[in-house]
Amino acid sequence: MDRPRDSCADMRQTVHFARGAIRSVGDILRQAGASSVLLVTGRASYARCGAESALGPVLTGIAVHRFSEFRTNPQLADVVQGLAQCAQLGCRHVVAVGGGSVIDLAKLIALLATQHADPIDLVRGARPIQAAGIPLVAVPTTAGSGSEATHFAVVYVDGAKYSVAHPSVLPSHAVIDPALTDCLPPRLTAMAGLDALAQAMESMWSIHSTDESVGYSREAIELILTHLPEAVRRPTSAARDAMCWAAHRAGMAINLTKTTASHALSYTMTARFGVPHGQAVALTLGPMLLYNSQVSEHDVLDSRGVRHVAGRIAEINCLLGAADSAAACQAVTNLIRSLGLATRLADVGIATAEDRALIAAQINVQRLANNPRRLTQAALGKLLDAIAGSD
């Protein structure tokens, strides 16, 4: 089904959600007058998920130039390479088929293709974005990142993570075909689903939460808790479909609020220690819920006050089927463990006090500022020590 929506006042997107929806990409491009398209994909996943065989017949008559030679986590050098290919081939439309990293890379290429400044200055915020990007169609092949629903994109520069935000970063079309996720192995399904859960929970307690964003978050959390275990252990079409919609809803939530502390802590785990993103955000999600539940008048960052934060946390506890935040923290830990993923830092190679100090020192301050309770370096140290495992 096609669902036009406003994700923010000045951002519009049409969502196509159905099994087989990928076959609509050809019509979308033709209606937009596309003649030359940059197709950004993963190297192996594009064929493995069935996207290659589905897209081939519907893109006849359109010059398609595939770009897939880039690293797993978007690097500025990869963006620059994609920009050069886009300009050289005269591509005025971009199609992204892949997970969150693929879509983020495509979003940056589409945005920066119309700018007249050095990409590094734009990424670092030294120069403003001055023009809308070229049209982008995003086709997610995992149920987790929700990148197809957001107006920002992540890129790494010399190991540091930057988030580039602009209304035109939001893809003009999101084509969500759950059949493309049917081939996902259990571990990747689990990590992607936990990323979506983290986004939904963090958006719900974010200082920028709204009634609209909370509605998206609530729907996503309910779907994930119901369907993620089945999608990992005994995947059915119904479970895959539900997880794809949950991930999209979580993406819509963070499009309004952005993420908070668990995501802030995850970036160094991924960039410096190689921990997959979904696993990295899951490690601190339960403990961060418990930490935020203990907010006081002395450290509350949400202008709506302690009572408001407590109400948000209580609603999350209820969604998790827990009587209080300690039980909710344990419920999150139990879920992660039941999906076969690590719950301790030592189990993912973050083994020493020095490693934990590095994570605390390099935390992403933009995402940290969205958290409802202030996190000092001492508090961060205690939280990381609590999930360390063994030194």
DSSP string, 311-329: HHHHHHHHHTT-SSHHHHH
What average pLDDT score do residues 103-119 get? 96
Across the chain, what does the average pLDDT equal?
A: 94
Domain 186-386 belongs to what architecture?
Answer: Up-down Bundle (1.20)
Q: Mean of the pLDDT values across residues 14-31?
A: 97
Average pLDDT over residues 347-359: 96
What residues contact residue 250 under an 8 Å CB cut-off, 6+ apart?
146, 196, 197, 199, 200, 203, 216, 217, 220, 224
pTM value is 0.94
- Report the percent of the chain where pLDDT is more than 70: 97
Which of helix, strand or coil describes residue 67?
A: strand
Please check the confidence at residue 6 and state whether its pLDDT lies above 90. no
Which residues lie closer than 8 Å to 122 by C-beta, 6 or more apart?
112, 115, 128, 129, 164
pLDDT (average), residues 58-87:
93
In this structure, which CATH number among 1.20.1600.10, 3.40.50.1970, 2.60.40.10, 3.30.200.20 belongs to the domain 2-181?
3.40.50.1970
- Of 38-52, 232-246, 376-390, give the lowest mean pLDDT range: 376-390
Q: What is the mean pLDDT of residues 355-359?
A: 95
Q: pLDDT value at position 11?
A: 64
Where does the chain hold its CATH 3.40.50.1970 domain(s)? 2-181
Per-residue pLDDT reduced to its tens digit, 263-278 = 999 989 998 999 999 9
Question: Given its phi and psi angles, is residue 61 left (phi above 0), alpha (psi -120 to 50 degrees) or beta?
Answer: left
- Looking at the chain, which residues constitute the CATH 1.20.1090.10 domain(s)? 186-386
The yes-or-no verdict on residue 119 having pLDDT over 90 is yes
Is the pLDDT score of 1 beyond 80?
A: no
